[in-house]
Chain A
Amino acid sequence: MPTDVIMPQMGESIFEGTLTKWLKKPGDKVQRDEPLFEISTDKVDAEIPAPASGVLKEIKVAEGATVQVNTVVGVIDAEGAAAAAPAPAKPEAPKAAVVPAPPAPSPQGRQPQPAEAVTRKGNGARPQPAPAPEPARPREAVARQAESVIEFPSAEEGQRVRSSPLVRRIARDHNVDLARVPGTGLGGRITKEDILRFVEQYPAGAPPSAPTGAPAVAAPAPVAVPGDLVPMSTMRKKIAEHMVASKRTSAHVHSIFEIDMTRIVKLRERERADWEKRNGTKLTFMPFFARAVLAGIREWPVVNASVEGESIRYHRNVNLGIAVALDWGLIVPVVKRAEEKNFLGLQRAITELAERARNKKLSPDDVQGGTFTITNPGPYGPLFGTPIINQPQVAILGIGGIFKTPVVKTDPEGNDYFAVAHILHVSLGYDHRVVDGAVADQFLSVVKKKLEQWDEDIG
Chain B
Amino acid sequence: MPAVTYLEAIRQGLWEEMERDPAVFCMGEDIGVYGGAFKVTEGLIHHFGPERVIDTPIAEGALVDAAFGAALTGLRPVVEFQFIDFIGCAFNQITNMLAKSHYRWGAPAPIVLRGPCGGGVRGGPFHSQNPEMYFVHTPGMKVVAPGTAYDAKGLIKSAIRDNNPVLFLEHKFLYRRIKEELPADDYVVPLGKARAAREGRDVSVITYAAMLHVALAAAETLAKEGIELEVVDLRTLQPLDREAISNTVKKTNKVIVLHEDTRTAGIAGEITAVINEDAFDWLAAPVVRIASLDTPVPFSPPLEEFFLPKVADVVRAARRLKSY
Q: Which A residues are closer than 8 A to B by beta carbons?
A: 137-138, 141-142, 144-146, 149-150, 152, 164-169, 185-186, 189, 191-192
Contacts and interface: CB of A to CB of B under 8 A. Distances in A.
Contacts, number: 63
B285 interface: yes
Nearest to B315: A146
A166 B324 contact: no
B320 A152 contact: yes
B220 interface: no
Given A150-B286, A167-B284, A192 B316 contact: no
Given A141-B295, A164-B283, A166-B281, A185 B289 contact: no
A145 B295 contact: no
Interface in B252-307: 253, 263-264, 280-286, 288-291, 293-295, 306
Contacts of A137: 294
Interface in B302-323: 306, 309, 313, 316-317, 320, 323
Central interface residue in B264, B283, B323, B324, by most chain A CB within 10 Å: B324
A146 B324 contact: no
Contacts of A145: 263, 289-291, 293, 309, 313
A168 B284 CA distance: 9
Interface centre among B281, B284, B309, B313 (most CB of A within 10 A): B284
A322 B281 CA distance: 27
Contacts of B309: 145
Contacts of A168: 281
A144 B253 CA distance: 24
Contacts of B294: 137-138, 141
Contacts of B323: 185-186
A189 B323 CA distance: 10
A146 B290 contact: yes
Contacts of A138: 264, 294
Interface of B: 253, 263-264, 280-286, 288-291, 293-295, 306, 309, 313, 316-317, 320, 323-324
A191 B294 CA distance: 33
A185 B295 CA distance: 35
Contacts of B288: 146, 149-150
Given A149-B288, A150-B285, A165 B280 contact: yes
Contacts of A149: 286, 288-290, 317
B286 A166 contact: no
Given A146-B313, A150-B285, A166-B283, 4 more contacts: A165-B283, A166-B282, A166-B284, A191-B284
Contacts of A167: 284
A141 B293 CA distance: 7
A409 to B, nearest CB: 58
A140 to B, nearest CB: 9
Complex A-B, nearest 8 residue pairs according to Cβ-Cβ distance, in ascending order: A169-B281, A166-B284, A141-B294, A164-B284, A165-B283, A149-B288, A192-B284, A146-B313
Given A145-B291, A146-B316, A185 B324 contact: yes
Most buried by B among A142, A165, A168, A169: A165
Contacts of B290: 145-146, 149
B308 to A, nearest CB: 11
Given A142-B293, A146-B290, A146-B313, A152 B281 contact: no
B78 to A, nearest CB: 36
A192 B68 CA distance: 53
A169 B285 CA distance: 13
Nearest to B292: A145
A186 B323 CA distance: 6
10 contacts: A138-B294, A145-B291, A150-B285, A152-B320, A152-B324, A165-B282, A169-B281, A185-B323, A186-B324, A192-B284
B283 A150 contact: no
Nearest to B291: A145
B250 to A, nearest CB: 9
A284 to B, nearest CB: 33
A99 to B, nearest CB: 30
B258 to A, nearest CB: 10
A168 B263 CA distance: 30
A150 B287 CA distance: 9
Contacts of A164: 253, 283-285
A188 to B, nearest CB: 12
Contacts of B281: 165-166, 168-169
Contact of A144 (B286, B295, B313, B320): B313
Contacts of A166: 253, 281-284
A51 to B, nearest CB: 15
A150 B264 CA distance: 16
A150 B283 CA distance: 14
Contact of A189 (B283, B293, B317, B324): B324
A186 B320 CA distance: 9
A168 B313 CA distance: 29
Nearest to A193: B284
A142 B253 CA distance: 29
Given A166-B281, A186-B323, A192 B253 contact: yes
Nearest to A149: B288
Contacts of A165: 280-284
